Each structure stands twice: as C-alpha cells, then as structure tokens.
C-alpha cells in the first residue's frame, strides 16, 4: 500500500504522482521533471515513494461554484505535508503525513 499513486504516460513511464490531500479532500498530482503537468508545472522528486519530497512547494487555487477561492499551499517533505498559512482550509499551518492510498 503506497501513499503515492503513479501517473504513467502511454509508454509506461512514471511522469508524476498523485496523493490525497486531507486539507482539500481531493488529490494533488505533482509531475516530476522532465515531465510537465497539463498546466506546464513540474517538480523535483527525491525518488522515495514511501517518504516523498517534492520541491518547490505545491500551490493550488480553485474557484468554487459559489465564487469562493480555495487555496492550498504546502511543502511535501519526507512524506509529510506541511501546510502554509495561506491555505484556506482548516489544516493551514499544520503538518500531517500523506494518507495511505487505497
Ligand atoms: Zn490540498
């Protein structure tokens, strides 16, 4: 049971990882250099699928259907998600381990 789900391209290469964010209650999917996510972003990865570190920080901004802007900004270091103070969810300022995936 891994905390990370591999994202693979058509050639079977791992291009990124997906993990569950308990702050957003949805998944984040950092792509790993040299691969890029659909919006052109990519991250460095320490190669450890059990205690992953991604850099730089992971920032998502999502506008909800009611127009409210939801921000999630975190560092993932050694398998822990460190939420920064600009998160709009209740885990702002806290550090929690990446949850196990099904
Ligand atoms: Zn999040």
Interval between CA 11 and ligand 1 midpoint (Å) = 29
Give pLDDT, residue 100: 87
- Asked if the structure places residue 102 within a domain, the reply is no
- pLDDT score for 10: 96
Q: How far apart are CA 9 and CA 58, in angstroms?
A: 21
Q: How far is the CA of 14 from the centre of ligand 1 (A)?
A: 22
Tens-digit pLDDT string for the chain (102 aa): 568 999 999 999 999 999 999 999 999 999 999 999 988 999 999 999 999 999 999 999 999 899 999 999 999 999 999 999 999 999 999 999 999 865
Instruction: Determine the pLDDT at residue 42.
Output: 97
Tell me how far the alpha carbon of residue 10 lies from the centroid of ligand 1, in angstroms: 27
Q: Tell me the whole-structure pTM to 2 decimals.
A: 0.91
Measured CA to CA, the distance from residue 1 to residue 22 in angstroms comes to 18
Give me ligand 1 centre to Cα 13, in Å.
Answer: 25
Which residue, among 97, 41, 89, 91, has the nearest Cα to 62 in the 3D structure?
A: 89
Cα 73 to middle of ligand 1, angstroms: 7
Ligand 1 centroid to Cα of residue 75, in Å, is 10
| Domain around 82 | 5-97
Per the structure, the count of domains in the chain is 1
Q: Which residues contact 31 (CB under 8 A, 6 or more apart)?
A: 7, 15, 16, 37, 41, 42, 43
């Amino acid at each position: 049971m891994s905390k990370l789900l591999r994202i693979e391209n058509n050639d079977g290469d791992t291009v990124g990882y997906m993990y569950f964010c308990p702050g957003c209650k949805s998944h984040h999917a950092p792509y790993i250099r040299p691969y890029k996510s659909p919006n052109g972003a990519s991250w460095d990865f320490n190669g450890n699928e059990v205690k992953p570190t991604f850099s730089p920080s992971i920032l998502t901004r999502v506008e909800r259907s009611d127009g409210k802007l939801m921000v999630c900004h975190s560092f993932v270091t050694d398998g822990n998600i460190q939420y920064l103070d600009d998160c709009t969810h209740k885990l702002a300022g806290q550090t929690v381990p990446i949850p196990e995936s099904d």
